[in-house]
Amino acid sequence: MAKKKVLFFYPRFVEEYKALLEKEIPEADFMICTSREDMEKYAPEAEIALVGMTFPQDLFKRMPKLEWVQALAAGVESYIQNAEQFRHIPVCRIAGAFGKYMAEYVLAYVLYFCQHIPRVLKAQREKKWDPFRMEFIHQKTLGVMGLGHIGKVVAQKARDAGMRVVSWDMARAEAPFVERQFGSQERSGFLKEADFVVLTLPATPATKNMVGRDFFKAMKKTAYLINICRGAIVDEGALVEALTSGQIAGAVIDAMKEEPLPRESPLWDCPNLIVTSHISGPSLPEDMVEIFKENFRRFLRKEPLVGRIDFSRGF
């Protein structure tokens, strides 16, 4: 049987990806792309596309032989926005790989705030002896918005660390480590209980700018927001207002509406805000290749693919 031609593009770790893909999946012929010129060259022959989120959507129209797209990301808004061209082509997102990393990211910042690390560092810079009473995570409630795979892993790790965990979602989920699940009409009740609100929702029309002025008003003034999902969910102007006015205690955002974040963005200098460069859920080559390997096996056997996008639901 002829090898399937796979167009590969990811902006980082190219040599590592190439070595792993060729070693782990010898049944495929990988066409490694590092530029648009490469993509345009190989597009007409591609039967499978294994690509990162920065792959130009217009190039899919130049792939007459395309049978399947495996996106190297959990969020797939660009595919949802171009759903018409994928009517007869399965598109899969990465499912199940990022939760463990994102849970560590969340817990790192929960501890950062509870242990008052900024105060400790400031005292050291000023050579000031400053004994104070720390806060402890076993006395805190973590509120998870979105109980998909990532949300469940975050909730489980927080519970294992001793936190009380509550959740909010459109539908109930099997999650014994969550003390209380709030439904779609119970958001204010959810926010009143959470000391840390963690966003793990998909970006859909229903969630766009969901986190805005009314949302921040419903949060505790002592609470923190941690966004590890999509920038579209947060009204960034309202976030700046909430932090500047002291409406909430602080925030950590790993996803923004525009990435890379422009130097002139007010987010950089906003008080009590930590900005990270979309690093909470890294696409590590060993994880991505393992997932693609399993889906490639399923594809050849005509079995259901893991992580297939449901365009009607928007994720």
**Catalytically active residues, by annotation:** 230, 259, 278
Q: Tell me how crowded residue 77 is: count the other CB atoms within 10 A of its CB.
A: 17
307: region left, alpha or beta (phi > 0 left; psi from -120 to 50 alpha):
left
- In 20-105 the beta strands, taken as DSSP E runs, fall at 28-33, 48-51, 68-71, 91-92
**Structure-block tokens of residue 83:** 């759903």
C-alpha separations of 180 from 107, 118, 148, 191 in Å: 20, 32, 16, 12
Which phi and psi angles does 82 have, rounded to 5°?
-115, 35
Contact (CB, 8 A) for 155 and 142: yes
In the block, residue with structure tokens 């102007």: 237
Give the pairing type, strands 180-182 and 48-51. Answer: unpaired
